[in-house]
């Protein structure tokens, strides 16, 4: 930054420089920086572009620990990519926000944001001020969202059976682009059944458990109308316990049922050696008292978040009671929700109201694992999916796919409005914005037309990923959508034949909320990146010897929390 003019002894006038930033600070600004940010975002988009749609391909991502993930879920891929460019990280944020807000459409939102930026690039290169573009892009996004709401069809007010069928169609549309797309009808029905088991006021997704068991085919997956969890760590005596009950009482605990004396590092001084036996007997009396009270409560199934030792296991087996210790907190929470049991921290004064129940409890072999199943729970507000598959990576991706489908069904239940998929809604929005742009004078017409062109990227990418001629299909779609009276508004890409199809009639549906959120988030990310005109990278702090200084326990600390600082760490 320049200061006031100064006169040198030789009479020359100079303007001294004022140093604001530390030496080594990297600053980039102006049009070049903006175009650089746009290019970085477009490079990120190209990495997920081919995963869109039913014919989309998967990505294999390997992290620094050698863990590999195969997925075509946009949010998963964006999270696993180690993106270092500061502007491109905004695309990761919108993918995550779409995933948390809606559950699906993560690839769509990233591709839309990238295409908006691609359309902006020529304007920026020609010297158009970014704020002009931002103004009209926001206006176009608001119009597009309003049009989606106009075109949406409500499934509210349908009878229960018809509504389940409509929700199944939404789930199948989501699953068609996933690895389990070949069995989308089977899993679509499972997702709808799972959501319908939840409390319809809360629709808490945590109440749907997903368990993965390697081996078998996808068709061997099943839904439990209650809770299922893997057999916990078992002590001697476990095999003697009964593994099947009808209408049992369930006691849920949060305390240990095992001898504690060996764990305590206590010192006891005795003047009389005979007193030692009394201390040992006291330990046994305490645990036997607890076990007797558990059995006296009338419970036939005893679950605890903490350990149930070998003594307790054998004691319960002798009395025809089933027990399981070290049940995970998530599984115990779902058991209490399903059976109505309340978690106890003491076994004193356990009343019948604190016990839960279910119609059937059984232990069942699933592949190489044994599962404890609670079925037919009263007023069950939870359920469990047990997924089968031939490979671990396949099951992991199946679980991610089903999570997307479950989220879509949840959103469709809460916001019962759907729009045609297959790029139909995108083409209709594009046509609507083009028509509107004709009535705008000045540069705004160009910007809204650019926004409308960008929306066509979804059907174009569906064609590219399916191996069809995108230009030919888009021309057919433009022709259909240009029909008067909105007769062609439901036509989208037919990924099976490479033609066009009435997406609504073909039951290719998606919740309106997915498209509304995707357009809004993509537009916000675009406006954010366009509003950046300078990037400043501060230099890393360095020690007296020029070596970078890291916080204690950082990359250089051999001892973790402040080790001896070898390697790239702080030198002593």
pLDDT over 50 (residue 240): yes
Query: pLDDT at position 504, please?
Result: 85
Query: pLDDT at position 140, please?
Result: 94
In this structure, the number of other CB atoms found within 10 A of the CB of residue 298 comes to 12
Query: pLDDT at position 14, please?
Result: 61
Q: Compute the distance between CA of residue 120 and CA of residue 101 in angstroms, rounded to an integer.
A: 27
Give the dihedral sign, CA 326/328/329/333. negative
> What is the rounded average pLDDT for all residues in the chain?
84
Is 107 assigned a catalytic role?
A: yes
Q: Compute the distance between CA of residue 77 and CA of residue 60 in angstroms, rounded to an integer.
A: 9
Q: Which helix (H) or strand (E) holds 113?
A: helix 106-125
pLDDT over 50 (residue 550): no
Q: Which residues of 517-538 are buried (b: 16+ CB within 10 A; e: fewer)?
A: bbbbbbbbbbbbbbeeeebeee
Q: Compute the distance between CA of residue 382 and CA of residue 478 in angstroms, rounded to an integer.
A: 46
Most confident of 204-208, 429-433, 559-563: 429-433
Is 51 assigned a catalytic role?
A: no
Query: pLDDT at position 378, please?
Result: 77
Check 51, 69, 73, 464 and give the catalytic one.
73
Q: What is the pLDDT of residues 395-427, one digit of tens each?
A: 998 998 999 899 888 888 887 788 998 899 999
Half-sphere exposure of 295 (CA within 13 A, CB side): 15
Q: Residue 552: pLDDT band by 50, 70, 90 thresholds?
A: very low
Query: pLDDT at position 567, please?
Result: 43
Query: pLDDT at position 265, please?
Result: 59
pLDDT over 50 (residue 3): yes
Q: What is the pLDDT of residues 132-147, one digit of tens each?
A: 999 999 999 999 999 9
Q: What is the pLDDT of residues 25-42, one digit of tens each?
A: 555 667 888 888 899 999
17 or 431, greater pLDDT:
431
Check 99, 225, 331, 404 and give the catalytic one.
404
Concatenated DSSP letters of 164-224: HHHHHHHHHHHHTTSTTGGGHHHHHHHHHHHHHTS-TTT--GGGEEEEEEEBS-GGG-EEE
**229 in Cβ contact with 372 (< 8 Å):** yes
**158 in Cβ contact with 167 (< 8 Å):** no
Q: What is the pLDDT of residues 455-502, one digit of tens each?
A: 999 999 999 999 999 999 999 999 988 886 667 788 999 988 888 999
Q: What is the pLDDT of residues 322-349, one digit of tens each?
A: 999 999 998 898 898 888 899 998 888 8
Which of these, 342, 364, 359, 379, lies nearest to 248 by C-alpha position?
A: 359
Is 331 assigned a catalytic role?
A: no
In this structure, the number of other CB atoms found within 10 A of the CB of residue 442 comes to 9
pLDDT over 80 (residue 554): no
Chain mean position to CA 89: 17
User: Which structural domains are found in the chain, ordered by start?
Assistant: 26-153+420-530 (1.10.560.10), 156-225+386-415 (3.30.260.10), 227-379 (3.50.7.10)
Residue 225 main-chain phi, psi, to 5 deg: -80, 60
64: tokens are 């620094």
pLDDT over 50 (residue 451): yes
Q: For 108-117, 257-266, 346-355, which range has the lowest pLDDT when averaged over its residues?
A: 257-266
Which of these, 229, 234, 450, 405, lies nearest to 329 by C-alpha position?
A: 229
Query: pLDDT at position 556, please?
Result: 42
Check 51, 69, 106, 382 and give the catalytic one.
106
pLDDT over 70 (residue 262): no
pLDDT over 70 (residue 197): yes
Q: Residue 19: pLDDT band by 50, 70, 90 thresholds?
A: low
pLDDT over 80 (residue 196): yes
Give me the helix-helix angle, 444-455 and 424-437, nearest 10°: 170
266 or 211, greater pLDDT:
211
- SS3 of residue 548 by DSSP: strand
**420 in Cβ contact with 503 (< 8 Å):** yes
SS (H, E, C) 120-141: HHHHHHCCCCHHHHHHHHHHHH
Most confident of 246-260, 265-279, 484-498: 246-260
* Neighbour-count burial of 480, counting CB atoms closer than 10 A to its CB (0-12 exposed, 13-18 middle, 19+ buried): buried
* Neighbour-count burial of 392, counting CB atoms closer than 10 A to its CB (0-12 exposed, 13-18 middle, 19+ buried): exposed
| Rounded alpha-carbon distances, angstroms, from residue 12 to 2, 3, 17, 18, 98 | 17, 16, 16, 19, 61
Query: pLDDT at position 9, please?
Result: 66
* Neighbour-count burial of 100, counting CB atoms closer than 10 A to its CB (0-12 exposed, 13-18 middle, 19+ buried): exposed
Q: What is the pLDDT of residues 50-67, one digit of tens each?
A: 999 888 888 999 888 888
Percent of the chain with pLDDT over 90: 32
Torsion of CA 74, 76, 81, 83, to 10 degrees: 70
Most confident of 141-145, 237-241, 509-513: 141-145
Torsion of CA 488, 493, 497, 503, to 10 degrees: -60
Query: pLDDT at position 124, please?
Result: 92
Check 76, 107, 336, 382 and give the catalytic one.
107
pLDDT over 80 (residue 387): yes
Is 232 assigned a catalytic role?
A: no
Most confident of 127-136, 230-239, 404-413: 127-136
Q: Residue 99: pLDDT band by 50, 70, 90 thresholds?
A: confident
């Amino acid at each position: 930054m320049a200061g006031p003019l100064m006169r040198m002894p030789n009479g020359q006038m100079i303007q001294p420089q004022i140093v604001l930033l530390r030496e080594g600070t990297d600053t980039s600004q102006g049009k070049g920086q903006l175009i650089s940010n746009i290019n970085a975002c477009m490079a990120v988009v190209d990495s997920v572009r081919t995963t869109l749609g039913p014919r989309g391909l998967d990505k294999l991502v390997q992290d620094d620990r050698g863990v590999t993930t195969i997925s075509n879920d946009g949010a998963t891929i964006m999270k696993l990519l180690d993106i270092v460019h500061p502007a491109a990280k905004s695309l990761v944020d919108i993918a995550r926000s779409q995933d948390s807000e809606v559950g699906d459409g993560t690839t769509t939102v990233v591709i839309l944001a990238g295409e908006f930026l691609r359309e902006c690039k020529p304007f920026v290169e020609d010297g158009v001020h970014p704020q002009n573009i931002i103004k009209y892009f926001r206006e176009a996004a608001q119009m597009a969202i309003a049009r989606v709401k106009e075109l949406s069809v409500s499934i509210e007010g349908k009878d229960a059976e018809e509504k389940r069928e409509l929700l199944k169609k939404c789930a199948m549309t989501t699953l068609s682009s996933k690895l389990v797309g070949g069995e989308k009808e089977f899993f679509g029905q499972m997702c709808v059944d799972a959501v319908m088991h939840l409390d319809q006021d809360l629709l808490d997704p945590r109440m749907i458990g997903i368990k993965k068991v390697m081996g078998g085919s996808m068709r061997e997956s099943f839904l439990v109308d209650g809770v299922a969890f893997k057999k916990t760590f078992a002590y001697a005596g476990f095999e003697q316990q009964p593994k099947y009950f009808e209408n049992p009482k369930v006691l849920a605990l949060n305390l240990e049922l095992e001898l504690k004396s060996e764990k305590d590092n206590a010192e006891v001084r005795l003047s009389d050696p005979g007193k030692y036996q009394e201390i040992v007997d006291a330990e046994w009396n305490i645990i036997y008292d607890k076990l007797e009270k558990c059995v006296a409560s009338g419970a036939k199934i005893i679950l605890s978040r903490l350990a149930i030792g070998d003594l307790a296991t054998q004691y319960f087996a002798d009395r025809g009671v089933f027990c399981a210790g070290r049940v995970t907190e998530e599984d115990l929470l779902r058991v209490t929700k399903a059976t109505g049991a309340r978690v106890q921290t003491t076994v004193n004064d356990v009343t019948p109201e604190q016990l839960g129940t279910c119609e059937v409890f059984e232990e069942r072999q699933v592949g190489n694992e044994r599962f404890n199943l609670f079925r037919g729970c009263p007023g069950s507000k939870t359920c469990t999916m047990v997924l089968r598959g031939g490979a671990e990576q396949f099951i992991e991706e199946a679980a991610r796919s089903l999570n997307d489908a479950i989220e879509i069904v949840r959103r469709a239940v809460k916001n019962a409005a759907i729009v045609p998929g297959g790029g139909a809604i995108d083409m209709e929005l594009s046509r609507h914005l083009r028509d509107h742009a004709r009535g705008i004078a000045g540069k705004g017409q160009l910007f809204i037309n650019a926004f409308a062109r960008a929306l066509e990227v979804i059907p174009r990418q569906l064609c590219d990923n399916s191996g069809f001629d995108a230009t030919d299909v888009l021309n057919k779609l433009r022709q259909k959508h240009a029909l008067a009276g909105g007769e062609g508004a439901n036509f989208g890409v037919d990924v099976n034949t490479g033609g066009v199809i009435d997406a609504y009639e073909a039951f290719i549906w998606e919740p309106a909320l997915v498209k509304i959120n995707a357009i809004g988030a993509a537009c916000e990310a675009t406006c954010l990146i366009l509003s950046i005109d300078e990037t400043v990278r501060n230099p890393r702090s360095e020690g007296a010897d020029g070596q970078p200084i890291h916080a204690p326990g950082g990359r250089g600390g051999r001892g973790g929390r402040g080790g001896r600082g070898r390697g790239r760490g702080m030198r002593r």
